[in-house]
Structure 1
């Protein structure tokens, strides 16, 4: 696939859901073996005049590359591994001659604060994980290396095919037409909302599967009034919401409002082609009316306004909640404990439903939340491309399945240790297709290492292990990916039309506007007059919303 030398480690990457590496140059002066590396001062034209690049050439002598990153609670380790010393860092050294040195790592919750402190101090490593705003700020201050020519010289055909499956997502890393970072591409469709319902309760109460918004209302009412858990107590909830219902992926209202063709906190095109803020559109008011009616009837948790995701998840686990809008990962995250605790519990995921005769269309976001950028002072900025190519080999059609870089035999997600993490836009949906086929044929030989890991867990579930129910209901069938697959086949989804960095007025006023929005919507659901929505719209416009709308549309004209 365009790589002259295929290393043993890189060849073993398998189609692990890799979080590829953005390590870029270092501050030592070692030259790449066989190639003259562009220096920090190289201009695009000078870089373009270099001899043909060898994307896989190993540095000899080795170089040091510095970086920073965050870690998450989902990171697990075994065999003495750490984020600083693991199968990836060892492979970078042995296969590429790159010694990865972390300047710092912090939990994701502390990342943005630490990032801003380091940027303010001018303490930049070779490789940086950045948000869109920080990418723009550093580029505006001429602190980043322009990767445009390096990408053309070093990125292999495989790498380019993966990163540019979603061209719109890839282009978010460009500023004034120049590639200033590698975007952490992922799948937009993975984030589309679905409706999760306890089907054992549906069967017990003689209810049909939901096809309309009226069905959702009927199900919610029955789940509250007809004692689906059979304990003779009025202690069940009709529809689950968190206090962060406008933004929460699980127990949120994105899928619900889409049923009214409304898209709160997203930017959508109006009839003239301009971008408008979804939260101030008329359909939102209709959705709030229904939620208010449900609250009055006791179909929502009276305390939803103070409960976070963990608290609502407890209601699922304890068998008190049987319906909510959520993401594709819900079976493995927020539903699994309920199925483990209750041998009779069964859930199914459905497409979102409409409140009228027009089909409901879910909305997602352009799937780039992170960028991998290179300091302009880096001595080996091309190293990011070598690390990127190394990781992308795991997605090659001939990549071996028994990779040490994906999910370990004990279930540890080793792929999270990788520094740069672009993924194919349809990686997980394709995994679903491949796994379903393998289950049907009882032949997993063509699966990647990551897919084989999911396959094995589904086989365990089919053998009676209910602790693996969640994996079966994500990647098997029936599953959340069955629903997402139908969205894709029908071309029935849209994406947030604004994916740029924060505009000047957003920086100054967006937080207060969003707080006002959340407070007003919560109060309306809990019984405040619907006329409050009209006042909110007027206030939003007056307090900065009109300025933000103008800035967003100015951005859109440049795209």
Structure 2
């Protein structure tokens, strides 16, 4: 499973914590240029136009046909289906929009992808909207098919201010879905920083051994030395170590992460980073990567890391922390929800605490970032009323993403589903609701999300501020203090984020050479970390990487970056 998929898992873990939505405000009201579509209203507009939108509702109703994969996490009540459920009824009653799947396919076993590719190959009619998370190659196939309109122009015309402001928090989310300078796909927004790591440390071990919070790598070495050699669990055995990491899948990953070690030396491995001169460089072939590998080699030799690190995936490595074998693990702020609480199954007195990512010898610190987007919406160029999709999505951004007190979605999206009344009070407790999540019935999977809202709210609550809005109150009731504190650290260190800056389709040379280069990189790094190769072997790796296609890929990646960063409106 990719890091993007794991990030989505982290968001899913918070779905019960964070759902609800936004302030009612006016929508964008720019009049469209003359196109082959009819004139459109804004989502909350009141004037009757040729589109049929009257007082914010289509009369007569219009239909939006769409496709999206339906995952096993989507749960319906008896008698309800993808085309007949509480959200479909709401869209009809509130907006005069009838939502209709062109066909229905599960997300498992690539069933959706297979059927959609077959539809493309046989030139079947596409629906009005395709909403998708998954195989990026499929996204590019759809974009390259020529069947979908420049959605960026439509977004500029019809998106409301709340949605536009959310998108503008990071305009680079458009880059993966651009072609020839046009924004073909609309990014589906997710919560910002949701997968960004903090350092989780066994606080009871720290207190027992009289250790202080590590602010630098040197400080951290002292902590790891004590965790490895001073019997922090008090069992009289030499059976603990410092840092739980696993690099079976890679070093810079979603949990049990070690990318921050590279960040301490000014780079991030296995991704394309933006340099000060505005160009992209591959983090695994920089001088900082060599320093990070030397550090990992030293730590492995001293016993601070698990000898099985090269065989551990992210989850297996974290299990060493929860089993009480390791004293430190690095991962997202939501880890108290899973899996960190398992540590108390093995030791009821165990305590853990979040700490900032430590700095390297030159005062640098770095962590990998999380994209503000986790999917894409494509709009059929033959859609008769594309403005109807914006009417739908604007309403969710303005009323659901951050609901006002007394608003339609103050307690949840639908009573009897994600919230119910118990003893005269609303509750979202799954024991009473049955665990239904109607936001998963929406075209865009989660309704609407404002990227900065979740983490900023968590950090605010961590500082003891009063929860006033419905969104804040839900988080306050549902989030443990350890998670709040970790979120505060994430925001305090937001300036150390190193984002993956190449988000386009694989370049021509990547398609031919990436497998060879990736194997070369993993083999070399593993040999160095385990001390089976000298650190100087890194230099010959870099030269071979460049001559085996890496130099050409670097040129192609930068050509892509200039095309999207210069072409974006």
CA offset digits 1:343-369 (Å, max 9, x no partner): 322212122112203231334254334
Cα distance, 1:278 vs. partner? Answer: 0.6
- Contact 1:199/1:348 (8 A) holds in 2: yes
Q: How does 1:216-255 map to 2 (within 5 A)?
A: 216-242=220-246, 243-255=248-260
- Contact 2:38/2:385 (8 A) holds in 1: no
Aligned length: 503
- Contact 1:66/1:125 (8 A) holds in 2: yes
- Which residue is equivalent to 1:93? 92
Are the structure 2 counterparts of residues 517 and 82 from structure 1 closer, same or farther at C-alpha, using a change threshold of 3 Å? farther
- Contact 1:18/1:391 (8 A) holds in 2: no
- Which residue is equivalent to 1:23? none
Say which structure, 1 or 2, has more relative contact order (CA 8 Å, 6+ apart): 1
Cα distance, 1:80 vs. partner? Answer: 7.3
- Which residue is equivalent to 2:130? 128
In 1, the alpha carbon distance for the partners of 2:76 and 2:179 equals 38
- Contact 2:83/2:99 (8 A) holds in 1: no
Is 1:345 aligned to residue 369 of structure 2?
no
- Which residue is equivalent to 1:418? 442
- Contact 2:263/2:364 (8 A) holds in 1: no
Are the structure 2 counterparts of residues 234 and 193 from structure 1 closer, same or farther at C-alpha, using a change threshold of 3 Å? same
Cα distance, 1:258 vs. partner? Answer: 0.6
In 1, the alpha carbon distance for the partners of 2:114 and 2:241 equals 38
In 1, the alpha carbon distance for the partners of 2:284 and 2:113 equals 26
Q: How does 1:100-499 map to 2 (within 5 A)?
A: 100-101=100-101, 103-107=103-107, 110=110, 116=117, 118-123=119-124, 124-130=126-132, 133-170=137-174, 172-242=176-246, 243-270=248-275, 272-339=277-344, 341-393=346-398, 394-396=400-402, 398=404, 400=407, 401-404=410-413, 408=419, 409-411=428-430, 412=435, 414-420=438-444, 421=446, 423-436=449-462, 440-441=465-466, 444=467, 446-449=468-471, 451-458=472-479, 471-474=480-483, 476=484, 479-488=485-494, 491-499=495-503
In 1, the alpha carbon distance for the partners of 2:166 and 2:355 equals 30
In 2, the alpha carbon distance for the partners of 1:310 and 1:297 equals 24
Cα distance, 1:548 vs. partner? Answer: 1.0
In 2, the alpha carbon distance for the partners of 1:347 and 1:324 equals 10
Are the structure 2 counterparts of residues 119 and 348 from structure 1 closer, same or farther at C-alpha, using a change threshold of 3 Å? farther
In 2, the alpha carbon distance for the partners of 1:510 and 1:115 equals 27
CA offset digits 1:49-81 (Å, max 9, x no partner): 7264555423524525231225265x5667776
What secondary structure, in the 3-state scheme, does the structure 1 residue paired with 2:336 have? helix
Are the structure 2 counterparts of residues 54 and 217 from structure 1 closer, same or farther at C-alpha, using a change threshold of 3 Å? closer
Are the structure 2 counterparts of residues 480 and 135 from structure 1 closer, same or farther at C-alpha, using a change threshold of 3 Å? same
Cα distance, 1:175 vs. partner? Answer: 3.3
Q: TM-score, normalised on structure 2? A: 0.79
Cα distance, 1:83 vs. partner? Answer: 5.7
What secondary structure, in the 3-state scheme, does the structure 2 residue paired with 1:551 have? helix
Cα distance, 1:317 vs. partner? Answer: 2.4
- Contact 2:264/2:358 (8 A) holds in 1: yes
In 2, the alpha carbon distance for the partners of 1:330 and 1:83 equals 32
What secondary structure, in the 3-state scheme, does the structure 2 residue paired with 1:500 have? coil
What secondary structure, in the 3-state scheme, does the structure 2 residue paired with 1:104 have? coil
- Contact 2:19/2:412 (8 A) holds in 1: no
Deviates more, 1:298-307 or 1:426-435: 426-435
- Which residue is equivalent to 2:538? 533
User: What is the root-mean-square deviation of aligned Cα atoms in Å?
Assistant: 3.3
Q: TM-score, normalised on structure 1? A: 0.80
Deviates more, 1:101-110 or 1:140-149: 101-110
Are the structure 2 counterparts of residues 557 and 473 from structure 1 closer, same or farther at C-alpha, using a change threshold of 3 Å? same
Are the structure 2 counterparts of residues 352 and 546 from structure 1 closer, same or farther at C-alpha, using a change threshold of 3 Å? same
CA offset digits 1:114-137 (Å, max 9, x no partner): 654554454543322346554444
In 2, the alpha carbon distance for the partners of 1:258 and 1:250 equals 16
In 2, the alpha carbon distance for the partners of 1:49 and 1:378 equals 11
Are the structure 2 counterparts of residues 166 and 224 from structure 1 closer, same or farther at C-alpha, using a change threshold of 3 Å? same
- Which residue is equivalent to 2:11? none
- Contact 2:196/2:369 (8 A) holds in 1: yes
What secondary structure, in the 3-state scheme, does the structure 2 residue paired with 1:161 have? helix
- Contact 2:21/2:397 (8 A) holds in 1: no
- Contact 2:241/2:305 (8 A) holds in 1: yes
In 1, the alpha carbon distance for the partners of 2:107 and 2:59 equals 31
CA offset digits 1:386-409 (Å, max 9, x no partner): 221132121356253312369542
Is 1:518 aligned to residue 537 of structure 2?
no
